[in-house]
Structure 1
């Protein structure tokens, strides 16, 4: 968040305390205070069963994730190998390698034309092959009916000097002997060149080939379908190019795009509008702007149906994994590693991401996306594990393009973000909308889950462990600038800053919250908040332990708290700290609240703040001192500066100073059926406070029941 942690000002007791007369006409009786209902435990993220070949890995002792590699990173494979999740480095030719006779395996009985580099006086038979691909293509066309098959032997096949491309038309298949041994090369890299181009109106099979050079290694034109297997494609400006309405289905494909980043250098796998690509058991790397992307030329029609399916594959060593004007993106069992960013889902695109592993991701150049998964369209997630992401992990974002604005939407379940050291946010709805079940962020810098810019964030079973302060961020759950946060079941351990922060005109509802450490839970106006729309937090069934500064706070904000248990709130930072429940110019209402072991004050209403709680129990407030602490500590309840205590069915005990303190300008309390007992002083009031205001409570069994002195409690505005 772009603000500061919640804080309160200074309280001072300027005059020593003396004896005061007992209160008159006190109403006694506490009929039975109800303790808070404990929160429902948070369900763990479910990443298992792992995909075949992936291994189980335990994260921070209690979370199992699935790793696609034997080590903790993607392997660096040999040029002739594929990096395959669940397998590791695998030869592109598989176990069989190149055939001993140098010819493709499993060829049909008839209609095959053979080509071997350097052959002399050929007629296209196996015994007397042609020497060039051009001769072979002409002969294969002559087979008729589009049934001809072109068979290339092991060796270097050059398309020839000055040849822009080899056009494959009117044949059924082009087969090499093996991808590591059958090389087809085009030395030209000028615009419009390729090694092979498959022309319109046909379906063709390609296999066991290594294509090198051209502007694109393989160019599939409109209206054509190519099925490829064991293909190694290399080109400085796009390994595979598909024109509008072209199709490609490939397995065991290695597509290496150029590493040069320039405006005229396309993606390694480059789709035009309406193209459809399927990649299975493949590896894609490089590409000017990224590995896989779709765009269209100005003025071209944009037919619907651009689709991408990637399964059991790796995308590595690239500025960006997947992006572009793709109607449907499906990713299953894929690793994206050593990349500048992962996926950018543009307006109008829909993505389904299942068993996605992202790691070692950091922007490589100025202007690169600073989010691993940027969603301006729609994305559905299932079992997504991201680690070592240097910027934002997941973002549903808002963008204004021609026409109406677009707000990204993310849904799904089972997401883990781990070891994310360089960002200010991890999962963020910045104008977009996120709805996740079972999500976990741990060992990450910045805020874990954040919503702003009128976005919405809905979480069911969220876990946050060990976030670190980064700039002004580090909250576990944060909403500001009109954001809407809705959480059911959350476990938060050692956040870098606030466990929950609701600011400005944001609203949050959190049910079943368990917090250990951090700076507590609160709502605060950090700027100019509309009077009719202050920050609002609804908190139900919460347990907050070992928080610093405060446990629950409303500062120029409204909080509704039901079934909240606060324990061992410690002092830290600017005085006063160690406050269990604080209403500072804000309102905290609710029922069944318990405060135990607060280091300074159990509960306080200051500067017009209002505590309106039924069934409040404050116990064993401590009086911790420190070198910089200037305020008295050890009071169970305090009101001052126009603060209001509106309590019904409450009990205060075990305070080392006063069970209840009412300083000058404490507004008329609204008390019913209260019990103050077992404190050093039962009721401590300023001598200008009318004791009769405190009817409705029973004060007994304290060291001193009633005492009056001159109290000045004048906290300044919170430090922002």
Structure 2
């Protein structure tokens, strides 16, 4: 036994035991006298460590449990298996064994997120990161296929017709044929497209030899236009429909038309599909302004595959608007294994479009264009978009889903904002009553918010998704993984790794999380009053089976009338980067409407495990352990800086009504439990191995039941008229 502990026990025994008990312990007190010769008058306090004990007559609880009202109660995340359960019986996800592109699970495994079956040339840092920069000239990037040729799998071949095999009904065109008397055969082709389009029969094909065709293409019968290959066949004419839409290729009022193996240079619209069903494959569409592909009107349907749609701005760009693919007015579209590159908007769906499916595509802004525009990957204003195994790379905004008739389903996809950060960058924004489902995806890059949710009626569900690297977009700007300003957001089986100032920020609407890991925030936050693993302001949030690790100011923070429920969760390692820095509170609440904590654990904090100020609270069946001494700096109501040093409390309740039961506080540098001018009730609590067990101070005090246990504390088990310094505000100083 340490000398200082012997000295402490001597004093406690004299104060607590009656005469008969002291006589029985005479021999023990003799030994204490010997200890006094070793310096008991001014003992050094032992470190913040404690070996839990159990009450006499009661069997000890298993690791990861504490004694509640009806026996041993498990705390923290439940249902864990394998290596996720530590020696202390608490569940922690195996972060160190999961690669950067995966989500740690509570059964010791790692859940794959992002694009599956990634092409080898795009695998980077454990994840799939397709980009045009990794592909040679004449090819484009497709996430699961790699770098594929713009000329398709068969290439250009040789001779006028390349690899295009002749079939009955073909009509041929060769602009270099000068012999005259063309009849559309291979030997005597027509010299112009107009002749071929007039001669071809329904279900036939017009086959184009190498060359530039400076004439418009209008198709209104079920035919296919087939070029030798996209790099050698160019369509660059223009025409106007009755509404004044100018296009190079206009396909309308037909079922079963097709386009293959050509390049289209857009005068305003490259390919215009109007009330027609069209299949497009191995095609390149370029232009400086306007739209690459437009699909419009009820009955219109586009199948686009293995194609490249790219803005052709010269140098640093002209600043003109370019939309790669526009779907509107009741039309449908399916995009597969294609690349939409540069421009201002890659895919826009509006005006009650019936539905769009995009599978295995790349939507990218290349570095040379990123600084000249504010590009958006997807704008979904009406209709439904199903996005799968696709990559949206280096947009200022990856996807904007807006309006009550818009619905996004994104699975196994990558949203990657520029890693160096641009102002107001984001991966996904859902607003104004829209709906969105994100599953098995990755959101990354330097963003103001990787996922932003706002507006009444907006509903978002996220599962199996990884948020990583949400540093602020630029110096002096905040950076969040998720920011919710309204609507309803449900987050499950997901992870936030290395967020910016905060992992999850909820300032409006209702939020729920289950099976979520938030690991790491910015070591030096820009605004400490807006820094936390999870930050709830004036909103309702429910956190269940949630793990918050390595935050710096606060693990979980609630304020401004927030309602917070924390159940079967773990908050661990909340500390500032430097010992004399402010912050380090596991759960911090200031002027919240309601706080409810059940069956949770708050471990290894600095300053306080839980700090509840002016917040009606209920804390039940919860473990608070290992709080270091530290400084907490706040802003008072008058805006004055206030610093309180040498805090180190387990549960710090200030000016609140708190119902506390079956709470165990141990290993705290100052008080295990401290009620400052607060009332409520304290029942079956256990405070051991702290400097003080329970401290009550101020004019209000909680009701204490007879089943509380305050023992083995270093200086005093129970202080009834304390005067320890405490903060008057719980708002961290910015």
TM-score exceeds 0.5: yes
Q: Does 1:328 align with 2:394?
A: no
**Residue deviations 1:511-562, cap 9 Å, x none?**
1111211133435335xxxxxxx52111111111111111122200022111
Partner residue in 1 for 2:260: 207
TM-score scaled by length of structure 2: 0.75
Q: Secondary structure at the match of 1:564?
A: strand
Deviation at 1:658, TM superposition (A): 1.4
- Tell me: higher relative CO, structure 1 or 2? Use CA pairs within 8 A at least 6 residues apart: 1
Partner residue in 2 for 1:522: 587
| Cα distance in 2 between the residues matched to 1:473 and 1:261 | 38
Equivalent of 2:270, from 196, 214, 217?
217
Deviation at 1:714, TM superposition (A): 6.8
Deviation at 1:22, TM superposition (A): 6.7
**Cα 1:438–1:23 shift into 2, 3 Å:** closer
Q: Does 1:457 align with 2:516?
A: no
| Cα distance in 2 between the residues matched to 1:365 and 1:426 | 15
**Cα 1:611–1:271 shift into 2, 3 Å:** same
**Residue deviations 1:679-701, cap 9 Å, x none?**
xxxxxxxxxxxxxxxxxxxxxxx
**Cα 1:136–1:580 shift into 2, 3 Å:** same
**Cα 1:228–1:104 shift into 2, 3 Å:** farther
Deviation at 1:118, TM superposition (A): 1.6
Deviation larger for 347-356 or 250-259: 250-259
User: Going by fraction, where is helix more abundant, 1 or 2?
Assistant: 2
Deviation at 1:94, TM superposition (A): 3.7
Q: Secondary structure at the match of 2:493?
A: strand
Deviation at 1:63, TM superposition (A): 4.2
* Structure 2 contact 416–427 (Cα < 8 Å) conserved: no
Deviation at 1:421, TM superposition (A): 1.1
Q: Secondary structure at the match of 1:238?
A: strand
Deviation at 1:89, TM superposition (A): 1.4
Partner residue in 1 for 2:693: 636
Q: Secondary structure at the match of 2:194?
A: helix
Q: Does 1:112 align with 2:160?
A: no
Partner residue in 1 for 2:500: 445
**Cα 1:456–1:262 shift into 2, 3 Å:** farther
**Cα 1:487–1:58 shift into 2, 3 Å:** closer
**Cα 1:97–1:713 shift into 2, 3 Å:** closer
Q: Does 1:254 align with 2:324?
A: no
Partner residue in 2 for 1:132: 192
Deviation at 1:412, TM superposition (A): 3.9
Deviation at 1:105, TM superposition (A): 4.5
Deviation at 1:79, TM superposition (A): 5.0
Partner residue in 2 for 1:380: 437
| Cα distance in 1 between the residues matched to 2:167 and 2:697 | 97
Q: Secondary structure at the match of 1:467?
A: coil
* Structure 2 contact 296–331 (Cα < 8 Å) conserved: yes
Partner residue in 2 for 1:678: none
| Cα distance in 1 between the residues matched to 2:532 and 2:109 | 22
Deviation larger for 250-259 or 174-183: 250-259
| Cα distance in 1 between the residues matched to 2:302 and 2:147 | 24
Equivalent of 2:354, from 290, 293, 306?
306
**Across the two proteins, how many residue pairs are aligned to each other?**
599
Deviation at 1:713, TM superposition (A): 5.3
| Cα distance in 1 between the residues matched to 2:16 and 2:391 | 72
Q: Secondary structure at the match of 1:292?
A: strand
Q: Does 1:498 align with 2:554?
A: yes
**Cα 1:56–1:570 shift into 2, 3 Å:** closer
| Cα distance in 2 between the residues matched to 1:375 and 1:561 | 35
Q: Secondary structure at the match of 1:134?
A: helix
Q: Secondary structure at the match of 2:198?
A: helix
* Structure 1 contact 273–325 (Cα < 8 Å) conserved: no
**Residue deviations 1:214-236, cap 9 Å, x none?**
11211112x11111111111112
| Cα distance in 1 between the residues matched to 2:285 and 2:137 | 11
**Cα 1:570–1:379 shift into 2, 3 Å:** same
* Structure 1 contact 361–372 (Cα < 8 Å) conserved: no
- Structure 2 residue ranges without an equivalent (≥5): 1-10, 22-54, 59-66, 85-91, 94-98, 473-477, 575-583, 633-643
Q: Secondary structure at the match of 2:729?
A: coil
Equivalent of 1:411, from 461, 467, 470?
461
| Cα distance in 1 between the residues matched to 2:396 and 2:655 | 46
| Cα distance in 2 between the residues matched to 1:334 and 1:198 | 28
| Cα distance in 2 between the residues matched to 1:536 and 1:204 | 62
* Structure 2 contact 155–163 (Cα < 8 Å) conserved: no
| Cα distance in 2 between the residues matched to 1:214 and 1:415 | 41
* Structure 1 contact 363–369 (Cα < 8 Å) conserved: no
CA RMSD of aligned residues (A): 3.3
| Cα distance in 1 between the residues matched to 2:723 and 2:406 | 62
**Cα 1:370–1:359 shift into 2, 3 Å:** closer
TM-score scaled by length of structure 1: 0.76
**Cα 1:56–1:156 shift into 2, 3 Å:** farther
Partner residue in 1 for 2:61: none
Equivalent of 2:282, from 230, 233, 245?
230
**Residue deviations 1:8-41, cap 9 Å, x none?**
xxxxxxxxxx99x979999x99986646532234
| Cα distance in 2 between the residues matched to 1:508 and 1:606 | 22
Deviation at 1:370, TM superposition (A): 4.1
- Structure 1 residue ranges without an equivalent (≥5): 1-17, 47-54, 160-164, 296-301, 399-405, 527-533, 622-633, 664-710
Q: Secondary structure at the match of 2:281?
A: strand
| Cα distance in 2 between the residues matched to 1:314 and 1:490 | 33
| Cα distance in 1 between the residues matched to 2:720 and 2:158 | 96
**Cα 1:101–1:371 shift into 2, 3 Å:** closer
| Cα distance in 1 between the residues matched to 2:148 and 2:533 | 41
* Structure 1 contact 217–238 (Cα < 8 Å) conserved: yes
Equivalent of 2:297, from 231, 238, 244?
244
* Structure 2 contact 603–626 (Cα < 8 Å) conserved: yes
